Chain A
């Protein structure tokens, strides 16, 4: 199977600090990858570069055949709207828009909005009765489900989730993990940054970073065997 994402000798420096140091790996389409490592290991830098929010200092990142390390600001914006679905630890919903409008916002920046489709996406994550609620009227778990619906609405090639359960209690964490499992089962390619070994064990592979370097790639199913 051809790789959806190829990371080759990726480097990211902030002055003298090397956040990423010659990191290389690949992600196949439909794969679930967990990026793990201690704080300062380069996880956030990696996900920002993969998401087109930041650009590398060196190396190459190819996503769906497109070398994003060479894209200008305008092309990176288009790349984010067309190929990436973000799920953030802090949910990052627009506070004055309702749940359905938050999902439609992603449609608005992608192409045209379709309220029915947005409502349908919210129903799929179990929020059919929360369409017109603003984030302040939703629990943390519900807000994260809105964020997942928003991430999926434009059918992205790659879902990037940064500590998606980091701000949730156990019950809500279970709901979100179940949603991620369903997404994986339906063929979505998912990259999750997490500290949680439980989430790491659900992934097809764990990419572990230490001091900006690739420490090891772990396959939980093999370890279990």
Chain B
């Protein structure tokens, strides 16, 4: 018989012996593996969910003409067609919203005010967190409606349902105030209306100040989209909004860090559980090791047997833990992140490998069996 067959035969018998202690070690390993698998699964889906949610908090990429001299340069509105003409599905799927703006310096009565012409359907996708009093303006709605920023409304004495007259360069438009928005940013000082109305008032048909985009994904993925858009929008600058990207990266980094350290802690605790069982097991096995050494068993060959036993426990614990962790991940995902977590098979080898390492580290007391002196053990000392 080949020595490998005998090795497996002894290993099988070892796993059948000391079932109580091995079961305790297996429970410790499977518990650790379950939490590890659950957190790794949650980590992947939560990142996806969080990056989606980040994208409702405003633009993270801006396309604008390069600044030259003192006057604000304008872009051609055809840039919107160039964005829409992106074919790569990876790029298209990451662009959540593309909102054009034309900023017009206007007056209402004697008060200067910034009128921002935009597309309201895109604006709402990108800024769903804006606080609105009154109603939103839809792109297909009345031509003469607007949203007023809360500071501008206060300055001009506007409320939902009131009317405001805007003048610029000798042209005038009257707008019904559909709602008042509170953004906490510069938008609170602006009045928003349809893009074509603003272009008409400014006498700049087909012109834009800039396009704000909401792009989902990691920093690297956002940069990939930025590069693709930059090659399409010739003559314009495409740049990520660094502060937002950095904030998102920081939050994701902290979540990753929290999950990493939690996994490390859980695995360390599992290892302690395994260590306790293995220490007791080592006491039980010292006589067997002494005998094996007396029979001429090399230390390395004997240790392979016991480490293989620990490794097998790790594989079994890791596999059980992966499936238990998949169930746990669904529960955590729903309760904590409000996301349905789908177990991923790629987590299985990671969980099994980590659990096997923990089992082997926890089997340290078994390694000490290599120092057993057979003469003492066989005398019963």
Contacts and interface: CB of A to CB of B under 8 A. Distances in A.
A94 B291 contact: yes
A79 B301 CA distance: 16
A113 B3 contact: yes
B1 A115 contact: yes
Given A81-B295, A95-B17, A109-B296, 20 more contacts: A44-B379, A53-B375, A53-B378, A73-B299, A81-B296, A82-B296, A84-B296, A90-B378, A92-B378, A94-B288, A101-B10, A104-B1, A107-B6, A108-B6, A108-B297, A109-B292, A112-B2, A113-B3, A114-B1, A115-B1
Contacts of A97: 10, 13
Secondary structure of the B contact surface, majority rule: helix
B297 A81 contact: yes
A109 B297 contact: yes
Contacts of B17: 95-96
A54 interface: yes
Secondary structure of the A contact surface, majority rule: helix
Interface residues of A, number: 35
With a 10 A CB-CB cut-off, give which of A53, A101, A115 has the most chain B CB atoms. Answer: A53
Contacts of A44: 379
A211 interface: no
Contact of B13 (A77, A96, A107): A96
Contacts of B2: 112-113
A54 B378 CA distance: 12
B296 A113 contact: no
Interface string A124-162: 000000000000000000000000001000000000000
A51 B294 contact: yes
A74 interface: yes
Nearest to B298: A77
B378 A109 contact: no
Closest 3 pairs (CB-CB, A-B): A81-B296, A96-B17, A53-B375
A110 interface: yes
B334 to A, nearest CB: 45
